[in-house]
């Protein structure tokens, strides 16, 4: 276990913030299945863009377990500080700053991992946000990468800047911005960061099983591990990872009936939160991942993607999953 400000994080395996994936229904599900933390999708610090339905939903935390984590992105200290204050007013209990996103549309605005090229700006941004929410007792964390490219791995310096700026914890993806998501993550830099700072360090990148989580923690000596793509279609991975990390063994696998109930419950929460049109579209993405569970993946996926309403989609998913459960009986 480790602390982020006043919050005791009871489980070392946490969910990575991912655009288009970690909406409120998925965060609530991941926490229910054992994730120690689950941050929101990235929110821009430009408050002029907050009037869209998508932005309002990203700041909706109704029924979300504590601590509620909101991730912000921006390149202007005053704007980022104001965005942090407003999100705290809306219920955020931890503010996370994104300096890890490699997407071109983000980096072209000198946000995300592009900020790793300007260490003085990194310091100004972090100091501004920490100062903005300190009076409310809200800790600030940082999500970053090992550097801009392999020739400029400056994660240790950035982590030291973060600690000096009052950042409460840092998560590091074991790739540079230039790597995007290609190749294998490297953990030597994360290990070096852990040796250089006293704040909690969370290792991220290619953690896709309880065994890999244990290996990464043992090598890096980090305080936690962050899982992203491994949770696609398998949010129960957190009960497995955190079972091994906290109890020394993973719990027994879920039965097919339990998996069916989790998937159907997730669909219902997506529809309730996003509505008919967006709910249908967003559920398709998750069903594409969940369909990998099924014995006849290709045909099942085709049927699930063809549904033209949430009711038809839910009925199809229910039928496919019930057949999968029955096949094992």
Q: Give the residue numbers annotated as catalytic, written as ranges.
A: 101
**Element containing residue 43 per DSSP (H, E):** strand 43-44
d(CA 265, CA 253): 19
Measure CA 325 to chain center.
Answer: 30
Residue 70 forms beta bridges with which residues?
Answer: 95
Contact in structure between 134 and 165 (CB atoms under 8 Å): no
Burial 12-27 (b: 16+ CB within 10 A, else e): bbbbbbbbebbbbbbb
Q: Which residue has the tokens 């998560």?
A: 171
How big is the CA angle at 99 (ends 95 and 100), to the nearest 5 degrees? 115
Contact in structure between 159 and 187 (CB atoms under 8 Å): no
Contact in structure between 264 and 325 (CB atoms under 8 Å): no
d(CA 286, CA 289): 5
Nearest to 221 by CA among 249, 259, 195, 197: 195
How big is the CA angle at 174 (ends 6 and 140), to the nearest 5 degrees? 20
Q: Which residue has the tokens 């909690």?
A: 200
Collapsing DSSP to helix, strand or coil, 151 comes out as: coil
250 burial level (CB within 10 Å; 0-12, 13-18, 19+): middle
Collapsing DSSP to helix, strand or coil, 141 comes out as: strand
Residue 170 forms beta bridges with which residues?
Answer: 142, 201
């Amino acid at each position: 276990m480790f602390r982020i400000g006043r919050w005791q994080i009871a489980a070392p395996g946490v969910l990575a913030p991912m655009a288009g994936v970690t909406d409120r229904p998925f965060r609530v599900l991941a926490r229910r299945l054992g994730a120690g933390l689950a941050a929101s999708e990235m929110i821009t610090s430009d408050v002029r863009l907050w009037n869209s339905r998508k932005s309002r939903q990203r700041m909706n935390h109704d029924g979300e377990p504590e601590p509620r984590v909101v991730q912000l992105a921006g390149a202007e200290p005053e704007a980022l500080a104001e965005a942090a204050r407003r999100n705290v007013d809306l219920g955020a209990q931890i503010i996370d700053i994104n300096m890890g996103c490699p997407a071109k549309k983000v980096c072209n605005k000198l946000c995300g991992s592009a900020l790793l090229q300007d260490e003085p700006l990194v310091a100004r941004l972090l100091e501004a946000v920490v100062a903005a929410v300190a009076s409310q007792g809200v800790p600030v964390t940082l999500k970053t990468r090992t550097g801009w490219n392999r020739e400029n791995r400056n994660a240790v310096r950035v982590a030291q800047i973060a600690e000096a700026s009052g950042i409460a914890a840092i998560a590091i993806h074991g790739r540079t911005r230039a790597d995007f998501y290609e190749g294998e993550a490297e953990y030597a830099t994360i290990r070096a960061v852990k040796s250089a700072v006293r704040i909690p360090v969370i290792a991220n990148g290619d953690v896709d099983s309880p065994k890999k989580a244990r290996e990464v923690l043992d090598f890096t000596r980090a305080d936690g591990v962050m899982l992203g793509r491994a949770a696609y279609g398998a949010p129960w991975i957190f009960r497995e990872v955190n079972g091994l990390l906290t109890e020394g063994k993973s719990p027994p696998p879920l039965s097919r009936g339990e998996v069916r109930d989790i998937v159907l419950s997730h669909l219902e929460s997506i529809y309730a939160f996003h509505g008919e049109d967006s709910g249908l579209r967003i559920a398709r993405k998750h069903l594409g991942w969940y369909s990998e569970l099924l014995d006849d993946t290709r045909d099942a996926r085709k049927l699930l993607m063809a549904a033209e309403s949430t009711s038809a989609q839910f009925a199809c998913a229910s039928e496919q999953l019930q057949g999968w459960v029955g096949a094992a009986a």
